[in-house]
Amino acid sequence: MTTAKPFPATSPLPADFQLPDPPDNPDDKMTNFDQMAATGGAHHLRQHLGNLDTTLVAGERYVVIRPTRGMAGSHYPDLLVAFDVNPAAYRARNGYIIPEQGKPPDFVLEVASPNTAETDVTDKRVDYAALLIPEYWRFDETGQHHGTRLAGDRLVDGEYVAIDVEEFPDGSFQGYSGVLNLYLRWEDGQLEWIDPATGEHIASFDSERARADAERAGRLQERDRADDAEARANVAEARIRQLEEKLRRQDR
The secondary structure of residue 13, as a DSSP letter, is: P
pLDDT tens-digit readout, 144-200:
999 999 999 999 999 999 999 999 999 999 999 999 999 999 999 999 999 999 999
Arithmetic mean of pLDDT, 60-73 = 90
The sign of the torsion formed by the CA atoms of 145, 150, 155, 156 equals negative
pLDDT on residue 67: 87
Give percent of the chain with pLDDT exceeding 70: 80
Task: Flag whether pLDDT at 2 surpasses 50.
Answer: no
Strands 56-58 and 173-177: unpaired
How confident is the prediction for the chain on average, in pLDDT? 85
List residues bridging with 160 in a β-sheet: 155
Arithmetic mean of pLDDT, 97-112 = 96
- Backbone φ, ψ for residue 74 (5° rounding): -95, 150
pLDDT on residue 170: 96
Task: Flag whether pLDDT at 3 surpasses 50.
Answer: no
SS3 (DSSP) at 120: helix
Query: Of 127, 128, 116, 123, which is closest to residue 179 (Cα–Cα)?
Result: 128
Task: Flag whether pLDDT at 14 surpasses 60.
Answer: yes
pLDDT on residue 40: 62
pLDDT on residue 152: 98
CA gap 58, 37 in Å, rounded: 11
Task: Flag whether pLDDT at 205 surpasses 60.
Answer: no
pLDDT on residue 212: 45
The sign of the torsion formed by the CA atoms of 65, 67, 71, 72 equals negative
pLDDT on residue 70: 85
